[in-house]
Structures are given as C-alpha cells and as structure tokens.
Structure 1
Amino acid sequence: MNNKVIDHLIHAFEAPLTNPVLIFSLVLLIILLSPILLRAIRVPGIIGLILAGVVVGPHGLNWLEKSSAVNLFSTIGLLYIMFIAGLELDMNEFKKTKHKSALFGFFTFIIPIAIGFPVCFYGLGYDLLPSVLIASMFATHTLVSYPIVSRYGISKHEAVAITIGGTILTDTAVLIILAVITGAAQGDINQEFWVTLGVSFAVFLLIMFGIIPRIAKWFFQRVESEKTGHYIFVLTVVFFSAFMAEIAGLEPIIGAFVAGLALNKLIPHSSALMNRIEFIGNAIFIPFFLISVGMIVDVSVLMKGPTALIVAATLTVVAVLGKFLAATATQLTFKYSKNERNLIFGLSNAHAAATLAVIMVGYNNNIIDENVLNGTIVLILVTCIIATMMTESASKKVVREGHQDDEHIEHVEESEEQIMIPIANMSNMEPILDFATLIKSKKSPFPINIVSVVPDDEQAERNIIEAKRNLENTAKYASGSETEVELLTTVDMNIPSGIARMSKSVLADIIIMGWPSVVSFVDKIVGEKAESILNKTDATLLMCRIEKPMITHRSITVFVPPLAESEVGFGYWLEKILKLAQELSLPISFVCDARTEENIDEAKNKLKSSVRATYGNYEDWDNIYGLATFSNSDSLLVFVSSRSGEVSYRDSLDGLAKRVGKYYKNQNLILIFPSRQENQHIDEYESVEASPIFRKISREIGNIFNKEK
C-alpha cells in the first residue's frame, strides 16, 4: 500500500509535470513567491517571473513544458497587456500628443532598422530577406514594463502616452512588413496580395471603431445590474478582436490593443469594471505570459560555439542601442528631461511579443537560422531585464519630480481631500458612489464618508439599526471598485442639522447629495431640506440626478453664471469637472459670458488639463430657460449656482433644482454650489430653518420698490 502511494507521488512529480492541477499550483506559487523573494535584493517582480520561467522551463529544471494550457494562458496574458495599454491610454492626452507619438513611432522604427540592416547584411553576412526581417525585429517592442508605470501612477504621463502611441505605430508597421516578407519568401507578392491586405485591414478598423463601441454601449446600458456579464463581455471583445486581426493578416496583439482603444471611452479608469479587468490581469494572466517568456530562453545555446555567442551579443547590443538612440532623439526633439528619456527607453526597450512573432514566423518559413533564433531568445531576456530595471528607476524619479497622474488636474490640497455623501434614498446610492469615485483625488488617503442621519424621535433606535444595515449594503457595493468608505450614523433633531454637523466633523471639502425630492407644503413654508443644508454648510455641494449610465454621454455641458469665477470654490469645482471629463474621455462645453470664459480658460491652462473645451456665449442670465438652446440629449448637464448672498448669486438661480429637474426630465443633471468662506454670510445669524421664507418675502418687497423706481 505504502509503495503504491510513493509510486503515485513519484509519478505525479515526474518532470515535466503533467497533472494540470499541479501545473497550475506551481505557476501560482511562482507568481506569489518570485516578487516577494526578489524584492529583498531590489529586483523588479517582472524580472523575477521571467527568471522563474527560465528555471522551471524546458531548458532549466524542465518542470514545465510549453503545453497547450500554458500557451493558452500566456497568449491571454500577452493580449491582456496590449488591451490594458489601449484601455488606459488617455485619449485626450493622446489626441494632444498624436504628432509626438507619430514622430516617436518614426524614430523607434527607422533608427533600429537603419542600424540593424547594415549590421546583419554586412557584419553577420545574411542575405537580403533575412537581414530585413531581423532589422524589422529590432524596431518592435512589447510593453512588458507597462505594469510598473501603472503601479507608480504615471500611466497618463506624456512620455508614457507617446511611447504607447509609438508602440502601436511601429509594431503595426513591422507586422505588416512581416506579412510582406512572408509573402515574398513564398512567392506570393502580387497585386492581389496588396488589395487583400488593404481591404481586410480597412474592414477590421470599421468593425472595431464603427460597430463594437455601439454594441458595447448598448450592452452596458441594458445589462446594467449584471456586473459579471460586463467583464465577460469585455473579454469576449478582446479575444474576438485578436482573432479578427489575425484573419485580416495582422498579429492578434494589434487586435487586442485596438479593442482597448475601442472600449476606452466606455470604461472609466476609476470604475469597478476597470478594477476587475486590472486585478485579474495583474494577478494571473500577465504573470503567466512573463513566465512563458522565460520558458523560451535556452541558456545552453551560448555554449554551442563562438558563432551563437557572437550573433546573440550583436543582436542584443544593436537592439538596446537602437531603442536608446530613438529615445534620445525623442528627448532632444521635445526637450524632455533625462528621467523622461529613460522612461521612454525603459518602456520601449523590452523585446518579447512582437519580436517573438517576427522571429518564429521567419524561422518556420526557413528565412532565418537557429543562431538568430537562439540569439533572439537571449536578446528577449536581456532587454526585458534592462527595460524593467530602467522603467522602475525612471518611474521613481519621475514621481519624485511630481509628475504623477491627476497632478495636472487637481489643485486643492489633494492629500487632505474629504468627500461626504449623506444618504437619503438608497435607490440612487450606487450611481452617486460611482460618481464620487470618479471625481475623488487618487492621492487622498481618506475614505469616502457615507453619512446617515436619523431623526431624534421615538423610533430613533429602530431607525439606527435600519440605517446601519443600509450602510453595510453600500459598503459591499463600494468594495467592488475597491473604494474605501467610512460609514457614519448620527442622531439629530433634524436631518439638515445632522448633515451640517457631520460635514464639520469630517472636515468635508465636498458634499455629494441626491437630487432634492418633491417637497410637502409644510417644507415649503418652514424651509426645504436641500436649501437648509445649503445654508448650514460651507463646503462645495453637488446635487446629482444620475438615472442613466455615464457612458451614454457624448459631452459635458457646464452652465456657468456671471461672476462665478469670483467665488471661493471656483477653482475646486472646475478641477472636479475637468477630472470627471478626463475619466469619461468627454469634451466639455462651457456656456458663460465673455469675462467668465476668459477666467475659465486661464484656470484650465494653469491646471494643464488635456480635456477638450469649447465655449458658448450667453449674456441673458436672468432668463435661465434661454440656456436650453445650448443643451442636447446626449450631454451630461452641469449647472453652476451659488448660495444666496454670495457674489454670483442672482434671483434667477433661486429654486434652480426644481425648475431644471422639471425641464430636463430624462437627462443626468448635476447642480454645483461652490464653497464659501466660513462665517462670512448672514445666514449664520438667522434661524436657518425659517430663513428661506423670510428671504423670499424680503426679496419680493425689494422687487416692488425696484419696479416703482
């Protein structure tokens, strides 16, 4: 019996492993341990995974072989890297830097080829076709070190944006060259070949940018509650796109990247869906790919005589030199700093996916020999190590210089930002929490404060238990997007007083509420809840009516009354709206008078925001209904108002929420009340609950005297 068990164990652990459960367990153990063990000697986790692949692969201990399961997971990981790169690309920044991306793409394509072709043709003595193929391989690069910049929070930095843009341009060009070289080797280059390639590429782009976004938008709107469905749908799009790219004669990685671009506007960076995509990719699929890259490396090839060593060394030096010169040319052209140059070099130096695709196709078609194949594998290992170490070092320095994402958007003391959401209606809690997550500063360590105020009456105890249960449900929802929340319950004589007290207690910079509900006759006489909350608080206050998914919008229209720029909270709400536009990749249209336009434009330039903004001029602000000519059904409408008694306040803004809510029945609306200086307004000395009615009476009396004049 014991012998049977021992034999069974020996058989199970025979190299290479065949038991799929054991293989998966080993890979997960590597993913878990290699970054932890190598962190002690300051080696980036990515290198750890590649080196682990070398050790356990067929050319090392031979515990793992390139089985169909490993190939499947590594392919998914490669496509995932390209997809996330497309998804995280800041489209506003990319549009702003498209000419820079094109120039970097040109440099990183032409310089390695210009160096590589003569070296292969004259130095190593290869024929014309192999020399062109190897030289084009030098021009490719894979964003192996992209997870590093993502982790450091600089994925939207301009240097990163132009590198990603350049990657897709140079890799597409190389993979098209590959298709041409393969055709030439097989003698298939004719007019039919070029027509087929051109037409299939055009059809692919039409499907990806014309049809896929429309289907995705419809799906996300209709299947709003099915969160798992969203993720599965996204994966389906990625792999379908990769397959279509293959059918079109391109490489699948191009399809995955284009899928990221196609879904870019529909998946906000701070959303729960984006969190799921990144989490699963970084936890399983991308590490699988990196381990599989290591498994290809055969260190023993270097022992097979001087030719293999010379070819491997030459290919590696040319590959690294070509990318370094391309990064330096980009730095000199755009006057980047040394750290930004190193960041571009680090990101673009790793040769893995496209390089492997080029060389494997060349090897299978007998265009290149074994020496080039082995030399390329060594090149992949060396460039991946250099790339990850360089990216890690440059990212740290760029962060120290203060170039993290969102810095150019947010201006308020970000490390201190506090957001508070008072709960009134559980049905609209989820969209308001999603909205708060989108505009929250990524640098603020504080959670979002969710407050429930229970009236101090005979049912207070029962209501507190109910409120806590509701808050727990909200916390569960928040955990889906890894949004930290602080749940607070308090008892007060009335709800506005409780909200005001909690706002001061948590030092709230911004209060985000649901849209005010229809009020009773008593509320109108004594003072409406929303207006009472306004009077008792000083922080920036946002009232939101979010009934449709944010992805349905094509733009944001912001109505800004005259003198809004004179309010204390002007800069803060503007930063938040620009951040929202950045997250949703939407253009903004500001409707305001000439003076306010000048101030908004100046503030936007100071913030260095890449959001596209246009302006509509409107002067007759006593007629609020005239603003309707500037709005459209696809727009998120944002109305800037102010508290009574402040500089930009005017009678026409009175009861704006009610009037706007009735007029725009099926649109998402946000109403902004900028913050004001504490204790600098008359309401401090009034009975705030009763103040609205007295203020209305006094205003009407004032209007009578004005008319008589």
Structure 2
Amino acid sequence: MSSKIFEHLSQAFEAPLTNPVLVFSLVLFIILLSPILLRPIRVPGIIGLILSGVIIGPHGLNWLEKSSAVNLFSTIGLLYIMFIAGLELDMNEFKKTKHKSIMFGVFTFAIPIAIGFPVCHYLLGYDVLPSILIASMFATHTLVSYPIVNRYGISKHEAVAITIGGTILTDTAVLIILAVITGASQGNINQEFWVTLGVSFAIFLFIMFGIIPKIAKWFFEKIESEKTGHYIFVLTVVFFAAFLAEMAGLEPIIGAFVAGLALNKLIPHSSALMNRIEFIGNAIFIPFFLISVGMIVDVSVLTKGPMALIVAGTLTVVAISGKYIAATATQLIFKYSSNQRNLIFGLSNAHAAATLAVIMVGYNNNIIDENVLNGTILLILVTCIVATMVTESASKKVVMEGHQDDAHVEHVEEGEEQIMIPIANLSTMEPILDFATLIKSKKSHYPLSILSVVPDNERAERNLLEARKNLDSMAKYASGSETEVELVTTIDYNIAAGISRMSRHVFADCIIMGWPSAVSFVEKIVGEKTESILNTTDTTLFMCRLEKPLISHKSITVFAPPLAESEFGFAYWMEKILKLAQELSLPVNFICNSRTAGATEEVQKILKSSVPLHYSNYEDWDNIYGLATFSNVDSLLVFVSSRNGEVSYRDSLDGLARRVGRYYKNQNLILLFPSRQGDSHIDEYEDIRTAPIFRKISREIGNMFNKEKQN
C-alpha cells in the first residue's frame, strides 16, 4: 500500500510537472513568496518573477514546461500589461502639452533607433530586420518611476507631462513597426500588404474609437448595479480588440493597448473598477507572464562565449545612451534646466512592459536569437535601477526649485480632526493617552478612537472579551482628564492590516502608538509590524516611548532631515509639536538645515504661535549618530522620519527606531512619520525600491547626471 502511494507521489512530482492543479499551485506559490523573500534585498518585483521563471523553467530545474495552460495565462498577462499601459495614461495632460509631447515623442523614438540600428547591424552583425526590431525596442519605455514623481508632488510638472505624452507616441509607433517587421519576416511585404494594412488599420481604429466607447458608456450607465459585469465587459473589450488587431494584420498587443486608450476616459483612475482591473492583473495574469518570460531564458547562453555578454552589455549601453541624448535634445530646444532634463531621462529610461512585449514577439517569430533575449533581461534590470535613481535625484532638485503641485500642502480642519490610538501594551498606554490629549485639537468634536485588534483564530471570541475589558480600563483612565474616547475592537488575520483598515474606517488624521518591540526572525523576513503599518497607511504616525513624565522635560528637540518641509504632512506635525510645546510651556530646538528652518518659521507665523523656537544647523544627515551632540537628558527628543520612498527619505533613516532606541536608553523618544498623499497607485510588479547597497552605488551614478556648478 505504502509503495503504491510513494509511486503515485513520485509520478505526480516528476519533473516537468504535468498535473495542471500542481502546475497552477506552483506558480501561485512563486507569485506569493517571490516578493516576500526578495523584499529584504529590495530586488524589483518584475525582476524577481522573471528570475523565478528562469529557475523553475526548462533551462533551470525543469519543474515547469511551456504547456498550453501556461501559454494561455502568459498571453493574457501580456495583453493585460499593454491594456493597463493605455488605460493609465493621462490624456488631459497630453492635450495640454501636445506640441512639446510630439517633439519629445519624435526624439525619444527616432534617436534610440538611429543609434541602435547601426550598432546592431554593423557592430553586432545582425541582419536588417533583427536590427530594426532591436533598435525599435530601444525606443520603447515604461513609466516605472512615475510613482516617484507622484510622491514628490510634481506629477503635474510640464517635464513629466511631456514624458507621458511621448510614451503614447513612441510606444504606438514601435508597435506599428513591429507589425511591419512581423509581416516582412514572413515574406508578405508588397503593395497589397500596405493597402490591406492601411485599410484594416483604419477600420480597426474606427471601431475602437468610434463604436466601442459609445457601447461602453451605454453599458456602464444602464448596467450600473452589476459591478462584476463591468469587469467582464472590460475584459471582453480587451480580447475583442486584440482579436480585431490580429485580423487587421497587427499584433494583438496593439489591440490591447488601443483598448486601454479607448476606455481611458470612461474608467477613472481611482474608481472601484480600475482597482479591480489592476488587482486581478497584478495578482495573477501579469506575474504569470513574467514567470513565462523567465522560462524562455537560457542562462547557459551567457557562458557559451563572449558574444552573449557583449550583446547584453551593448544593448544596455545603447538603451541608456539613446534615452539620455533624447532628453538632452528636448532640454536644449525647450530651454529646460538640467534637473528637468534628468527628470525626463529618468522617467523615459526604464524598459519593462513594452520592451518585453516587442522582444517576445520577435523571439517567437524567430527574428532574434537567445543572446538578444537574455541581453534584454539584463537591460530591464539595469535601466529600471538607473531610471529610479535618476528620477528620485532629479525630483528632489525640482522640489528644491519650488516646482511642487499646489495639492501637495495638507490642511486638516481642527474641528474635524480624528486621532486613533491602537493598544498593544497596556503598561505603556497611559502616557500615550496623556500625549494624545495634549496634542489633540480642542476644537475637534470627535473623541479619541482607542483601538484593539484581535487575531482571527480559535480564541478570537475569548480574546475579544479580554480586549473589551482592557479598553474599559483605558476609558476609566481617560475620564480622569475628561477626555472623551471611543472604544473600538475588531478582528483581523493581521494586526497591522486591522490598524490600517480601521484608520481608514474612522478617517484618522493621526495614529499614535507605542514604541516597536524587538522583532522575531520570521518578522524580519516577512516584514515587521511597524513597517507593515507604515506601508499600508497614509496618515501621520507618532511612535512614542514615554517612560518619564512629560512635565520633567525642559525643552523639546526636533531632528528634521532635509526636505522635511516638502512632505505632505509637514504643516500638520508642526502644528502638533507647537501645541505640545505650548501645553508643556517648553521651547523647541530644531536641528535642521536652513531651508527647513525657514519653513518652520513660516508655519509658526501662520499658526500665530508664541512658542520660542531655536535652531542649530546640521548637514551630515547620513551620519545619524552625529545628532547626539545636540541632545541632552532633559529634552524630549522628536525624530522626524518618513516612509520609504518619500521626499525626505534617506538610507540613514533605515531602522531608525531600533537604533535611537538603543542609543537613548533612558530618555523619552518620539518617532514621527508625516502623512503622505493617498490614492497613488504603485504597480507592484513594476515598482523598484533598491536596497541600500544598490542605492549607495547608484548615488554615484546619479552624480553624473546631477553635478552642479560650484558658485
């Protein structure tokens, strides 16, 4: 009996796997674990999934082969990438700057091709068709680093707008070239081909932009209650468009891209339908496509001689150079600053979705070889890292020039302020409640929300009763200061998720919580609770270690890093610090640079606060321990940090709570994270947040593009 079971298991797990349930389980397992395991070293999600495909594919461990099921999901994923690319483009911004966008589109399309073709044809020795295809791949770009400019509050900047407009033009032109090259590779290029292509393309555009939007508008209005039906309708349009494009002699990915443009105005970016489209694509279809790309890659090709490495290096250098020259040409014509040029270069340099689409079509039609395919994977990795680093550096420079959007300034009505306090450790809650009472707006008619999150397990009901008892004791304590509180209990599988969900539910403007405790090994791998709360909330967050009475202090010392004044929640936390200082009758010492000092004085004038402010200049913010010279034992220390990737974030702020907690063992500490703008979608599989080691290396590369003349 046992031998039969063993034999059955051995057959089921025999490589390559053939059981469709097991194949699907393996792929889902990879999609689940890949971002978790690679998060500590900050490997981009898009690269992590491709590498996973390399490992489990036919050229790796051979656990998976290109079956019909894998091919189906891969095709859907490819179409999904192109559809979302068309759907997320801001057509209004394109219209405002259409003339400049067209000029940049011409540059970013023509210059990489003009450089790429002779390099591929004469230097690498490829034939004419492969050379044109590879050169056109250089012209494409994906807005991988767009979330960065969104976080910095410069998404409406003209340089950003023309880059987005150029994306529409260059990607569309490349996809049309792709159709011609595919036809030429099959020997179909003649007069009849051009007439057929022209007529069929015109009919295709008429159907997509003349008929489909009208049908879609009618459907969304008449079938309003059927939310599931809306998503199915959108998918139907995508695949119908892909089929129409194929019938017109074009590639299906052109159909999917045009479907995105056709439905662009009918699906708001912050709508529930958009959320469903992105969620399902990012959860299933797009990761499937990325894994299938990795399965095609044969790493051993790189070891078969110098040619593979030469091709990979050449492709990467040409791709970066072409986009940089295009950005420079745009700068010279429109008289942009070097920072604006770098912003354009950073946004347009990343090669991801469209690049993969072009190369996959070329590989599947036997136009390009494995060397180019493998070289493209390296190109994607390098350009994504360079693009992100350059965009971040340039965005900081543009912000310092004063080019932020007006919407980047936060204002919280005092009468509407909501503060939430999650309970973790009862022994530390009383001073935190006192702190919340001091900084809470006296005009707010909302009570303090005290939250207890109970894990969803077999003891959930019993834990819920205990939590309510604990909350009752907190309510009694609050009543002593006549502070009105609202007791909230909730059940969730994850503490951080429960806090995040309830903060949105009560529209919290501020979360006040205790100091993070030591983390376990598992939490370090999967992610600490504090980090999870920061990543899943947008509101201002205070982390407090209050072991001494607040009245024992003689001053408040605030350590504010450069560009802290450019954070969305700057004015709000400044108001809270000044209110605390006023309640305790303490002066505030700011340790910051001159720019931040000027911004704090402006806020003080607006608030008409009489709190004495003193300033000490500090510039070496990469050395956090150097701040110790400005602190004293009688001061309440407030460290202003920011969420990873925000305007004032820097490498030295990594693990700040752990480091200052160890260094200042017997002092009251507050770690402050300003609020950030919400509703900024970041595609998980095109996001790249480099590890500290990469950031330190890339900073040097960034200096090549951001050198300033010394006055």
Q: TM-score, normalised by structure 1?
A: 0.54
Report the counterpart of residue 390 of structure 1 in structure 2.
386
In structure 2, the CA distance between the partners of 1:210 and 1:5, relative to structure 1 (3 Å rule), is same
The alpha-carbon distance between structure 1 residues 252 and 156, as it changes in their structure 2 partners (threshold 3 A), is: farther
**Gap change, CA 1:346 and 1:99, over 3 Å in 2:** same
Q: Does the alignment pair 1:188 with 2:176?
A: no
Structure 2 counterparts to residues 140-151 of structure 1, below 5 A = 140-142=140-142
How does 1:69-80 map onto structure 2 within 5 Å?
A: 69-80=69-80
Secondary structure of residue in 1 paired with 2:506: strand
Counterpart residue identity of residue 54, structure 1: V
| 2:42 aligned residue | 42
Distance 1:283 1:147 in 2: 19
Deviation at 1:283, TM superposition (A): 2.0
Structure 1, unpaired ranges of 5+: 421-448, 450-480, 489-709
Indicate the residue corresponding to 1:484 in structure 2: 504
Go from structure 1 to structure 2 and tell me whether the alpha carbon gap of 1:213 and 1:109 turns closer, same or farther (over 3 Å shift): same
Is 1:375 the equivalent of 2:395? no
Which amino acid in structure 2 is aligned with residue 410 of structure 1?
A
| Corresponding residue number in structure 2 for 1:22 | 22
Taking a change above 3 Å as real, the CA distance of residues 299 and 74 of structure 1, as seen in their structure-2 partners, is same
1:100 alignment partner AA: K
> Within the alignment, does 1:221 sit opposite 2:221 as a pair?
yes
CA offset digits 1:397-426 (Å, max 9, x no partner)? 56656879x973637634669989xxxxxx
Q: How far does residue 345 in structure 1 lie from its aligned partner after superposition?
A: 4.1
Could you tell me whether the CA contact under 8 Å between 1:183 and 1:189 is conserved in 2? yes
**CA-CA distance at 1:109 after TM superposition:** 1.7
Q: Flag structure 2 segments of 5+ consecutive residues without an equivalent.
A: 418-445, 447-500, 509-711
Whether the 8 Å contact between 1:348 and 1:387 is mirrored in structure 2 is no
Instruction: Quote the offset at 1:90 in angstroms.
Output: 1.9
1:59, 1:298 within 8 Å by CA — same for their partners in 2?
yes
Residues 399 and 176 (structure 1 numbering): CA distance in 2 closer, same or farther, change over 3 Å? closer
Q: Deviations over 1:83-141 (max 9, x none)?
A: 22222222211111222332222122211221122223322334444433433333334
In the alignment, what sits opposite 2:135?
A: 135
Shift of 1:387: 3.1
Map of 1:175 onto structure 2: 175
Aligned counterparts of 1:30 and 1:151: Cα–Cα separation in 2 = 30
How far is 1:227 from its partner? Answer: 0.9
Distance 2:385 2:413 in 1: 33
**Structure 1's 141 and 402: CA in aligned 2 closer, same or farther, altered over 3 A?**
closer
User: Is the 2:152–2:396 Cα contact (8 Å) retained in structure 1?
Assistant: no
Cα separation, 1, equivalents of 2:152 and 2:287: 18
TM-fit CA distance, 1:334: 4.3
Deviation at residue 63 of structure 1 after TM alignment: 1.8
CA distance 1:183–1:25, shift in 2 (3 Å): closer
2:117 equivalent to 1:114: no
Instruction: Find out whether 1:408 has 2:405 as its counterpart.
Output: yes
Shift of 1:17: 1.8
SS of residue paired to 1:249: coil
Alignment of 1:607-626 (within 5 A): none
Give the CA deviation at 1:269.
Answer: 1.9
Counterpart in the other structure of 1:472: none
Structure 1 residues 289, 365: CA separation in 2 closer, same or farther (over 3 Å shift)?
A: closer
- The secondary structure found in structure 2 opposite 1:410 is helix
Distance 1:183 1:383 in 2: 27
**Distance in 1 between the 2:100 and 2:173 partners?**
17
The residue that corresponds to 1:604 in the other structure is none
Deviation at 1:343, TM superposition (A): 5.3
Is the 1:109–1:140 Cα contact (8 Å) retained in structure 2?
yes
Deviations 1:36-59 (A, max 9, x none): 222212222222222222222222
**Which whole-Å deviations, capped at 9, do the CAs of 1:424-478 have from their partners, x for residues lacking one?**
xxxxxxxxxxxxxxxxxxxxxxxxx9xxxxxxxxxxxxxxxxxxxxxxxxxxxxx
Partner SS state of residue 263, structure 2: helix
Compared CA separation, residues 81 and 131, structure 1 to 2 (3 A): closer
Partner residue of 1:645? none
Distance in 2 separating the partners of 1:228 and 1:357: 29
**Residue 369 of structure 2: SS of its match in structure 1?**
helix
Flag the 1:222–1:282 CA change in 2: closer, same or farther, 3 A.
Answer: same
Amino acid aligned to 2:51: L
Aligned residues: 430
| Counterpart in the other structure of 2:296 | 296
Q: CA deviation at 1:249?
A: 2.1
User: Is 1:46–1:145's contact at 8 Å kept on the other side of the alignment?
Assistant: no
Alpha carbons 1:346, 1:386 under 8 Å: kept: no
Structure 1 pair 202–111 and aligned structure 2 pair: CA distance change class (3 A): same
Distance 2:412 2:110 in 1: 44
Question: Aligned partners of 1:417 and 1:297: how far apart in 2?
Answer: 58
Task: Give the match's secondary structure for 1:195.
Answer: helix
| CA distance 1:140–1:285, shift in 2 (3 Å) | same
| 3-state SS of paired residue (2:281) | helix
In structure 2, distance between residues paired with 1:325 and 1:243: 37
In the alignment, the residues of structure 2 paired with residue 74 and residue 144 of structure 1 have an alpha-carbon distance, to the nearest angstrom, of 21
TM-superposed CA distance for 1:218, in Å, is 0.7
CA contact (8 A) 2:86 2:260 kept: yes
Which aligned pairs between 1:443-522 and structure 2 lie closer than 5 A? 484-486=504-506
The whole-number CA distance in structure 2 between the counterparts of 1:230 and 1:3 is 52
Q: Matched residues in 2 for 1:311 and 1:411: separation? A: 44
Answer yes or no: is the 8 Å Cα contact 2:145–2:391 preserved in 1.
no
Distance 2:166 2:327 in 1: 11
Q: State the distance in 1 between where 2:97 and 2:33 align.
A: 39
Instruction: Note if 1:94 corresponds to 2:94.
Output: yes
Q: Could you tell me whether the CA contact under 8 Å between 2:242 and 2:254 is conserved in 1?
A: yes
Which amino acid in structure 2 is aligned with residue 311 of structure 1?
A: V
Determine what percentage of the aligned residue pairs are the same residue. Answer: 78
Provide closer, same or farther for how the CA distance between residues 269 and 355 of structure 1 changes in structure 2, counting only shifts above 3 A.
Answer: closer
In structure 1, the residue matched to 2:230 is 230
The whole-number CA distance in structure 1 between the counterparts of 2:31 and 2:152 is: 20
CA distance in 2, matches of 1:337, 1:483: 41
Q: Which of the pair has more CA radius of gyration? A: 1
RMSD: 3.9
Give the equivalent residue in structure 2 for 1:210. Answer: 210
Higher relative contact order (Cα pairs below 8 Å, separated by 6+ residues): 2
Q: Quickly say closer, same or farther: Cα 1:158–1:4, change in 2 above 3 A.
A: farther
Contact 1:46 1:388 in 2 (8 A): no
- CA 1:65/1:158 → structure 2, altered by over 3 Å: closer, same or farther? farther
Q: 1:68 to 1:151 in 2, by over 3 A?
A: farther
* Alpha-carbon offset, residue 168 of structure 1: 3.4
**Map of 1:282-681 to 2, 5 A cutoff?**
282-334=282-334, 341=341, 344-351=344-351, 354-355=354-355, 358-359=358-359, 368=367, 372-394=368-390, 396-397=392-393, 408=405, 410=407, 413-414=410-411, 484-486=504-506
CA distance 1:43–1:126, change in 2 (3 Å): closer
SS of residue matched to 1:89: coil
Counterparts of 2:223 and 2:4, CA distance in 1: 53
1:553 aligns with none
Paired letter, 1:381? I
| Counterpart residue type for residue 214 of structure 1 | K
Q: Distance in 1 between matches of 2:131 and 2:507?
A: 65
| Letter paired with 1:120 | C
Q: Return the letter of the residue paired with 1:215.
A: I
Deviation at 1:183, TM superposition (A): 4.0
1:299–1:376 Cα change, 3 Å: same
CA distance in 2 between partners of 1:210 and 1:483 (Å): 44
Partner of 2:32: 32
C-alpha spacing 1:66/1:352, structure 2 compared with 1 (3 Å)? farther
CA distance in 1, matches of 2:387, 2:148: 7
